[in-house]
Every structure is written in structure tokens, then in C-alpha cells.
Structure 1
């Protein structure tokens, strides 16, 4: 029975994996393990005490923990503690598996002898170079611990070689550290170039670690970019006297801090504003403000609107913006993000300025993110060479399917238009009805291109525009200015004839 239960459990587990069920292990992020050592309190023999390494190590440990590392911080380590920490570090990496990332950071004294680099515990006191293997930690022994884990990414950082405390001892007359090779899958970084000296720093941290702490928290920055920027900052800080150095044999990308996920709603708002600010069109600005009245770019949009609008329009209170033919955007549910091909087509049209290119965009994306913009550009370009209107009795075409007329020239403006008198308009939904009646009517065309019919077809225009007689009169007056008259060609829920009618009504004093 036990064997059957075990077998059934195995079969069940395999079935879950084959069916794509998530597992706890798969959901966990890759393991990150770090050993951070900072030695400041040197008190033996010729090795001088250092001010910053312990603080440097604390700062780096803090940054690493914030970026997901399991950090062991060791400060002012004596030899036994130092070597024990390195051994535990290696064991932890081996347990973590091949996808783990290992990182070793050291700040403190280090020397080279016979081409090898040694990190000095705080009690180091030697009289001969031959003693180094007995009283110090060889840098390559730490790399060997990391390589033994056979994991894919290892990072080795030395902020060492402040000076050479043993320069008077034979075989210790070389400055700086010896060059080291990066094993496959590793990245080696040093506070200064091989054979050169690093500065401890006059502030709370060394120049190298201070720059590293700033750069490593940059979201999405590859490690190569991080240390390139560190090098630039250290060179500037030290007046060119210290140049950090690194070498890499990484086989996959690494970032200390993952880039924050893109917020689709914020991206849609940003792209919308980029298009509106480039076009500098009042109608588009009003549309943007109706969609994002409190958004990141709302203040900039209002400033641009005030710059472009005539004084009598710009002086209107924000609550009156809707009266100027601004329709509320649909509820922000799932913003549509344009694809790269769609953006490419629009960019081509904006670069060429040709009507054919905008029409090509609309042919490919009739309900695209930039469809309204493309139609507005086509309408503007059509002014130069207006196309003949389609025949009213064109076979096979439903009148209700036609787009709103660009300019309403069919409205009879020869007589007086009053608020309660019927309009002489060709559009059946408008003709024979008064402005007073139309306020409570339903839109004929969508207020915003691509808006689902279920959102607008059953709503009254007064609900969309907050219309009343005074506000409607203000809207008509705005069309009397040369700057605002261009809006007569923009799409409207009642079409262009309605705009022309309220313009004429306003011209006659809104009787």
C-alpha cells in the first residue's frame, strides 16, 4: 500500500507539472547570496588602522539586502573568522544550485606577493612574505569556493590596496594588487587598476564604494553599466588619481535591481500627451484634459491650452472645459498600448506629413490608438485640396455609416436661429429639431473615435457635455474666434452641422 501511495503521488506530481500547474519552487526568485567583509581595526605591527572599510561594508550590505541578497556581514575579521566565513559562503552557494548568484565584497588592506593577492585580517603581523599563506586569505581561494558551486553568476569586488604596509619587507615592494582573471561566469571589480593604490576617502566612505552604492540601486542597469559609471565617478572624485578596473566572463545578464514593471495606464497617458503636445491642437488638448484631469501632465496641458487659446476661451474656469466640446473619456479599464508596427506607421506619417501615409495608418489600424489623431491630420490636409463629397444617393451606403461632415455647409443660416426654433439641417437626426430639444437627444456619432456604442448611444448629450442654454451659448461664441473656428472641422457627436448652427446662433446673440 505504501509503495502504491508513493507511486500515485509521483504520478500526480508529474501530471501537475505537465498540466502547467505552478509549483512553489518555480515561483521563487533565483537565490542571491553575498559575503561582505570590512576590516578597519588593524592594530598589529606595521598595518595601520583604516577609517572607512567597516562603514563601506555596512553600506554595501544594506544595498545588497535591498536588492534581494541573503547577506553575511563580517567586520574587523580575524583570520579564523575570515576563513570560516569564506567556507560557509562556499557551502551556501553549493546548496543553492546552478541558478544562484554569488557575490563577495571586501574592503580593507590587501597586498600582492609573487603574483598572488592576499586579503589581510585585522591581526596580521608578518616579517616575511613566506608567512602570507599562514596569516592572510588568498583572493583566489575565495574565487575557488565560488567556482566550486558551478553556479552561473559570481561577482567578486575588492575595495582594497589602500597602501602597502609591508613595503620595507623584501618581496613586498610591489604597489597595488596583481591582475586576476575572471573564471567563466564571473565578474571581477577592483577599486583601482592593477599595481595602483586606492584611496580610503576623506568622508564616511571610500570614493569607490560611495560611487558603487549610488549606481547599484539604478533599476534595470546591467552590471557592466554600473561599474562603468562607478569608474567615471571615481576618476572625477579623485582628480584622475584612481581608476577602477574590472574584467568579466559573464555568460548571462545581471542587474542588482530589476527594472520596475511598466504601468500600462501610465504609458498610455504618456504617449497620449506626447502626441497632443506635438500637435498643439486645442481640441486634442481638451480631449486629453477630459481623460486625465488630474494626471501627471494635466498642469502642462492647461498651460499649453492657455498659450494657444484666445483670452476669452483661456479665461474659462476648468469646470467649463466640458462645455467646449470636450467629452469625458470612457472609464480607464484596460488602456490600449500601441504595437511597434503601429507606432512605426504613425511615425512615418508624421515625418512625411502626407495624407496618403495617414490613410495607410488608418487602413491598417482603423481603431488604433492614434486613429483620432490620424483622422484629424487627414481633415487638416484635406483643406488644401478638398475631395468632392460623395453622392447622397450612392448605392449600397447607409447614411448613418458615413463619418461626420468636416464642414457643415448644408445648414440654412440665412434666417434667425433661436434656442427653441427648428433647425434646417440635412442630417435627419438634427433637421427639424431645436437646440433645446437636441440637448436632451442622443449622439449620432461616437464622441471619441473607437468608443464602444454601448457606452454612448443610449446617453443624452446633456449628460456628456453638461449642456444648458448658457453653456451652449458659450460654446457657440468660442467658434467665432479665428483660432477656435478651426474646431468646426473636428468630429462632434451631432456632426458638423450642429456646430455650425450653434455658431450662427451665438453670432446672432443666442436668442
Structure 2
């Protein structure tokens, strides 16, 4: 589409009131391989996954290319067609369901013509992830999304021909890669019409005005819950801005104070503006982070009355900048990116400002991480329990509605019951939406605390940190659950490593706690 034609269409959209997103190019290539030449490799669901996802994306105004049971040449041709269609697109989606393997640090999506035997044949009959990445790079959509439901169990991992699962691949700028499971593990093909991962994707894909990253966060959460932590999806992305599969206006959202509070706290937690915390306390006087807000106000006001100290410059010159920044971020003292100012504020909070040191800073930041994470973790666990309860109730109600609808076909007296059952289900869905939005906030914030803390947290840190010098903090909502949640947080930190960032491995550990 030429720039002139884009402009004419845009003006026409303004004149008739059509949203801008209605004409933006949105394209998808979906490949599902089920009928492999090797009988032991046959899969039930990939073709079903492509058909269901294709229908869902077309309903969202995507131009969809569907390829089923494809050999390597057919996949290559489809990828070339996709590149042309995706050039300059607003959103380009590549989806693959079937067998995927890693060979020599590269991921391969296996064509149905693979007949087994040796690695050379596997490479020749597969589509490489390098080809997919290169296609996205050349096409240069506003956002490129690669979704791989490609780690199904297969005979050539069990016989040692290749390593299980796919290797981590970060892609490039503007690219998001979503994997159905974490490195080296197997994605479940599912007992129903679709795989566990694709079923979750279909459930959340069309949520109005939900950013793609949050949507995939819900998918990951769903899969972890559904599999009891045996399958952990993960995401690699380098994407700017917000991009939604369904950019239409959201349904009228039911107000929820906890959703609003969590969103507000995440926005202001790194601020150096006293007014931001005062406004928070005015709106949420008994909020989840009430005591933390009080602490920030005291620290910021006291530092404003003192002259700037010079000592922090010495520490900054010798310290690891990333560690220093992360520690000050957790303490809420580097909101404007000024390390010197943040350290000066921290120094003035010390009983003896002359004792400023990296070790003390990291210990205090670690203590704050534990308190913040434990507070958030308690809310997260509560919301997960609520979500599972709501979804059980929804399943029972939907089954009951189906039975009532059957009865109503031959008995008009059942019609009012059907109408009431539908209203009840709508109420359940509204409650589910509230909890899901709340989980978007708690899940994301907890993950941010984990990632930030992993940069500076002392290797030998234990719960003894909770008995440090700062004893004035009222634990508030954490209460008697503090030690239990702090122990879980420390375990999650111990599990955090570069290879698992972007996954929800910690969520699986949380679920195992009940």
C-alpha cells in the first residue's frame, strides 16, 4: 500500500468514523503439521490448532494463510508469500504447531516428509527459525509475533538423535517470540481438539484492547494452571509500545479498587515525587502498599531539607552500575535515573551517613525486595485461588446451561430458566475479568521485583534479613504470612537465571504451594 493510498484511506476513515485499526494490515501464517511420514511422529492436534486459530484471527480482521501437513518446500513457499503480505504490516503473526527440534543451537520446524534416520535429513526437511526471523526482519511489520507450539514429544529425542525442546532465541527489535514451553521440555498435545497451549491462546486472544504481552501472560498463566506447572510457556520480546490482537474498545469494565491500586502503585513505585505517594495514600489509605508509601514520603521529605552530599560519587565510580541501579530502583530512589541523587537520599536515611557502602545498600534493598515481593505474592496467591474457583463455577454453570437449552427446545417453561442461567454466566464472566485484570498487575509486578532483585541480591541472603536494623515497618497486609511468602520468594530468586528469564517458572513453584 503506497503512502498516498494510506493517506486517502485514513482521511476516508476519519470522515465516516471508522477506527484507524480497521484498515491497518494484519496478516498471519499458520502452519500445522500432524500427518508425518513416520507413524510414531503423528500428532492429533496441530491441524485442528491451525483451523481454530485461523477462524479466530479472521474474525479479528487478519488476512490468514493456512498451511497443513506441509513438507519443507511448501513451508518455504508459504514463508515467501507471508513475507510479501507482511511487508509494512501493522501486525504479522507466524504460528507453527507440530514437531520442533534444536540442532547445534538452531531451532528447526520439522516438515511432514521427514522419514527419520539422521540429522542431515532433518535439516533438509525442516524450516529453520533463522529463516522465520529473516522473514520478519525483511518484512519489518510494526510488530512481528512468532508463536511456536512446537515441542511435542517425538521418537528422535528419546533415541538421542536430538536434545529435547527448543533452544532459547531472542530474535530482534520489534519481534516477540512465544514458546509453548520452556527450554528442553515438552508441550502437551492435549486431550481435546486443541493443544493445551493453543486452547489457552484461543481463550484469551480476542480480549478487547489487551496488549499482546499481557494476553500472552494470561496464556502462560492458564497453561501453568492447567498442567499443574508441568508445562511453562515463556516469551522473548524486544517490542516498544502496545499492540493488541483485538484493538477494539474494551467492554465496559467493572470498577475494581485492587486493580486500580496495583496499577497506580506500579506507576509510582520508582517516583521521587512526594506528591505521588501522598495522592496514593489519600486514595488508598488502607492500601496494600500503605506503609511503603509512608516510608517513601518520610525519606523524600527528609532528604529535601538537607544539602547534597558528595560521598556517593566515590561509590558510583567503583560500583557495578547495573547492580546499583537495580538496588536503588527497588528502594524507589532512582525514578529520574539520577544515581547520585538516589544514593544521596539513601545515605541521609542511614543512622550514620558515614557508613555508606555497597554491601549495606544491597542488604537494605534485598530486605525491601522481600517485603514488597511477600506483599505482592500474598495477593497473587489469593487471586490465583479465586480464579480457579471462578473457572470451576463457570464450567458447572455452562454445563447446566447446555442442559437447560436442550430442555427448552421441547419445553417452553424452561425458557426463563435459560435466560437466568445466561445472566448468571455473564456475572461469572465479569468476576473472572476482574480477577484476570488484577492478576495482570500482580503477576507482572512480582516478575519485575524478581528480575530487578536478581541483579543485586546477595548470594547468601536468608530470612535473617527480615531481622535487620529497620524494625519500624508495620507489616500490614503481609502479617503472619510474611515468613512463608518470603521463603517462597527466596526460592524463586534461587531459580532465576538468565536461561529462564521471560518464563513463569516461579509461577509453577507457587502453584505447587497450593
Into which bin does the TM-score normalised by the smaller protein fall? Answer: 0.3 to 0.5
Q: TM-score, normalised by structure 1?
A: 0.45
Q: Please identify the structure whose Cα radius of gyration is greater.
A: 1
Q: TM-score, normalised by structure 2?
A: 0.45
Greater relative contact order: 1 or 2 (C-alpha under 8 angstroms, separation 6 or more)?
A: 2
Q: Which structure: greater helix fraction?
A: 2
